[in-house]
Structure 1
Amino acid sequence: MFWASYFTFNIVRWGSYFNDYWYSLKSNLVEFPLHIIIVYINIYYLVPKFIIRRKYKTYIFFLLLSLAVHYLIRSGLNYWLVTEDIWPEAEGLHEAFGFNHIIAVTLGELYVVGLVSAIKFTIDFVIERNKNNQLLKLQYETELKYLKAQIQPHFFFNTLNNLYALTMQRSEKAPEVVLKLSEIMQYVIYDVNKKKISLLKEINYIHNYIELEKLRRGNMVESDMNIAGDIDDVKVPPLLFLPFIENCFKHGLKNGEKIFVKINFKKHGDQLDFKLKNNFNPDYTAKTKNGIGIINTKRRLELLYDNRFELETYPVEDQYRVILKIPVK
């Protein structure tokens, strides 16, 4: 389509210039196959073989050689098949193979080669960029799925440990734990596969997790959760906050010590603030092994929000604090 359009344009252009469309048709029938040949030699042979390998001098040599061969063939065919006046647009009488004619034909051919090559490489660049964007998106999605896949068994493992402890004690709380666990399983199996879920649903499962810990530890757990702002329409990535909640119970306090957890969700404008505060024992925390939950969460935040989030985790005396700010649009 490109060459057909270019061919038609050239016939009309030069036919109008000379007021001789028959001459324009004949000369373009000679020249255009040569245009096509030299353009494709440049695009598919010279550029890949020399430019991409940074052999610029060799490229220039072979390009000039191909232009020289092109000139000889084009001028000869025009002279023998079309007209003896091979340069009718120039003033005065010019013979073939003269210096001025060689320069004019060579520059004209360089224009064709440059124009078509620029169009071709621009199209290739756009196609390659789109492919790279699709691959990058696929890589992000694959990594996100991998990170969530790590969190799910990690989460179940901790919860099943809680249930195991209760069954070993023959506690009457075990059936309630199973019920809570079934709700969490529904969340992990169905909701985690979604890109985003309702913040209210996420909060509900955070509540279930804390209730499981309370069933396990009894009155050794105190919790307080506050919600500010209109969060009815807020959606968040699943399992984004749970790893921080888990760490309140996993690390920082010896068995028998009371755990206090304070959680705040606040939506203002297009931003959601999540704040968590829990007590911990600095000496004991230094001896515990860090889990994969927080590491995964940080990586997920980077993939999901790039640099549009803020995360701070730091100790203050005998308390540990988490501040996370994410966009909700």
Structure 2
Amino acid sequence: MINPTQKKITPHIPSKYHFFLWFGYFVINFVRWGSYFNDYLYSLKSNLVEFTIHIPLTYFHIYYLIPKLIAKRKFAAYLIAALGSLMVVYIARTELNLLLVTSNIWPEAIGAQKAYSFNHIVAVTIGEVYVVALVTAIKLTSEWIYERKKNESLKELQLQTELKYLKSQIQPHFFFNTLNNLYYLTIEKSEKAPDVVLKLSEIMQYILYDVKEPKIGLLNEINYIQSYLELERLRHGDKITSEIQIEGNIDDINIPPLLLLPFIENCFKHGGKNNTMVALDIKFENAKNEQLIFSATNNFNVNTTKEKKFGIGIENVKRRLELLYHNNYSLETKIIDNTFNVLLKIPIV
């Protein structure tokens, strides 16, 4: 769905810009020819006649001939229509000038020149073509800018749609895993099951209501991670140990929601099988107010690598990172001495 607050992009050029264009062009011509002949009254009258012709011809060209003929590749019809319109314009302009302005139809020419002579026809036609070409160039440029903005808007919309889809994938992925844990506890008739339900409801409130914005406070995300760790402790008890370290001031740092949890889930995927201990160290660092450095280290259970995995979390995060930060991020995952290590660096913006 398109954001209703997003500025609408339209190919329509407001009427005021049409007025400013023609008024500015008229003033330039009026001053130019008035100064050239030292006769501003003549310049005013001749330009009034000529602009009365320029404007209809130009709009006929850009709003009819181009979309109806050129755009449909009817080049022969366009050439005939363009030449015919120039012929009509020449006759109308010449007769109006003779009737309303002066009998000297071409005062700037060398020697006496008559109307309907070859030289006069060529001169008037070239002048009209110049005006039409200038305004057509402006029109085509505005349409090119419109198309570029529209494509950028569509690209941005596609990006936001994909990001929303990726974020929505994390939610059922997380709930599926948590419900599996709850099912395990209910099978064992564990007294911890009600606590799991309560903690799950807190996290559901966070996911359903607090992560609708493109970015949230890092402290909120950390609280969410702590709630997830408490859920795992409810299931595994003393087999789960974790420590969260924070270096630097992170109060004002915002990140995309649900970006880091898949890495935490992955730690339990690697370390939490066969009733083994899970030791998890998590660290957040504000590096000179330029980068947020997130690292997570946990003991690694080699047997889990042999199992088929259906998780979507890590691949989901990688795609979100690409869309959000392009090449301006760093993500490393590696195994060192039976420990699984994650190191993520993203810009602070």
TM range (shorter): 0.7 to 0.9
CA deviations on 1:206-225 (whole Å, 9 max, x unpaired) are 12212211221223333233
Does residue 37 (structure 1) correspond to residue 56 (structure 2)? The answer is yes
Match of residue 97 from structure 1: 116
SS of structure 2 residue aligned to 1:265: strand
Q: Contact 1:312/1:323 (CA < 8 Å) preserved in 2?
A: yes
Q: Contact 1:163/1:177 (CA < 8 Å) preserved in 2?
A: yes
Match of residue 147 from structure 1: 166
Match of residue 138 from structure 2: 119
Match of residue 347 from structure 2: 327
SS of structure 2 residue aligned to 1:171: coil
Alignment of 1:306-317 (within 5 A): 306-316=326-336
Residue 306 and residue 38 in structure 1: after superposition, are their counterparts in 2 closer, same or farther (change >3 A)?
A: same
CA distance in 1, matches of 2:79, 2:329: 51
Match of residue 225 from structure 1: 244
Match of residue 47 from structure 2: 28
CA distance in 1, matches of 2:278, 2:73: 65
CA deviations on 1:294-319 (whole Å, 9 max, x unpaired) are 22222222222222211223344643
Does residue 202 (structure 1) correspond to residue 227 (structure 2)? The answer is no
Q: Contact 2:271/2:278 (CA < 8 Å) preserved in 1?
A: no
CA deviations on 1:58-80 (whole Å, 9 max, x unpaired) are 75665455434433432344335
Alignment of 1:274-293 (within 5 A): 274-282=294-302, 284-293=304-313
CA deviations on 1:187-206 (whole Å, 9 max, x unpaired) are 21222112222212211211
CA deviations on 1:22-49 (whole Å, 9 max, x unpaired) are 4334333332232112211321233334
What amino acid is aligned across from residue 144 of structure 1 in structure 2? Answer: L
Q: Contact 2:269/2:304 (CA < 8 Å) preserved in 1?
A: no
Identity across the alignment (%): 59
* Aligned-residue CA RMSD (Å): 2.8
Q: Contact 1:222/1:260 (CA < 8 Å) preserved in 2?
A: yes
CA distance in 1, matches of 2:29, 2:72: 35
Equivalent residue in structure 2 for 1:272, among 286, 292, 297:
292
Residue 106 and residue 274 in structure 1: after superposition, are their counterparts in 2 closer, same or farther (change >3 A)?
A: same
Does residue 173 (structure 1) correspond to residue 197 (structure 2)? The answer is no
Q: Contact 2:271/2:298 (CA < 8 Å) preserved in 1?
A: no
Deviation at 1:89, TM superposition (A): 1.3
SS of structure 2 residue aligned to 1:89: coil
Equivalent residue in structure 2 for 1:86, among 82, 96, 105:
105
What amino acid is aligned across from residue 292 of structure 2 in structure 1? Answer: L
Q: Contact 1:30/1:74 (CA < 8 Å) preserved in 2?
A: yes
CA distance in 2, matches of 1:140, 1:276: 28
Match of residue 263 from structure 1: 282
CA distance in 1, matches of 2:189, 2:276: 22
Equivalent residue in structure 1 for 2:205, among 186, 192, 199:
186
Q: Contact 1:252/1:285 (CA < 8 Å) preserved in 2?
A: no
SS of structure 1 residue aligned to 2:281: strand
Deviation at 1:113, TM superposition (A): 1.4
CA distance in 2, matches of 1:55, 1:279: 72
What amino acid is aligned across from residue 197 of structure 1 in structure 2? Answer: I
Structure 1 range deviating more: 235-244 or 247-256: 247-256
Residue 220 and residue 59 in structure 1: after superposition, are their counterparts in 2 closer, same or farther (change >3 A)?
A: farther
CA deviations on 1:52-102 (whole Å, 9 max, x unpaired) are 566778756654554344334323443355333211112221122334323
Match of residue 299 from structure 1: 319
SS of structure 1 residue aligned to 2:293: strand
Q: How many residue pairs were aligned?
A: 329
SS of structure 2 residue aligned to 1:313: strand
CA distance in 1, matches of 2:84, 2:319: 55
CA distance in 2, matches of 1:59, 1:259: 77
Residue 15 and residue 227 in structure 1: after superposition, are their counterparts in 2 closer, same or farther (change >3 A)?
A: same
Q: Contact 1:225/1:263 (CA < 8 Å) preserved in 2?
A: yes
Unaligned runs of 5+ in 2: 1-18
Q: Contact 1:39/1:113 (CA < 8 Å) preserved in 2?
A: yes
SS of structure 2 residue aligned to 1:261: strand
CA distance in 2, matches of 1:282, 1:85: 99
What amino acid is aligned across from residue 229 of structure 1 in structure 2? Answer: G
Q: Contact 1:248/1:261 (CA < 8 Å) preserved in 2?
A: yes
What amino acid is aligned across from residue 217 of structure 1 in structure 2? Answer: H
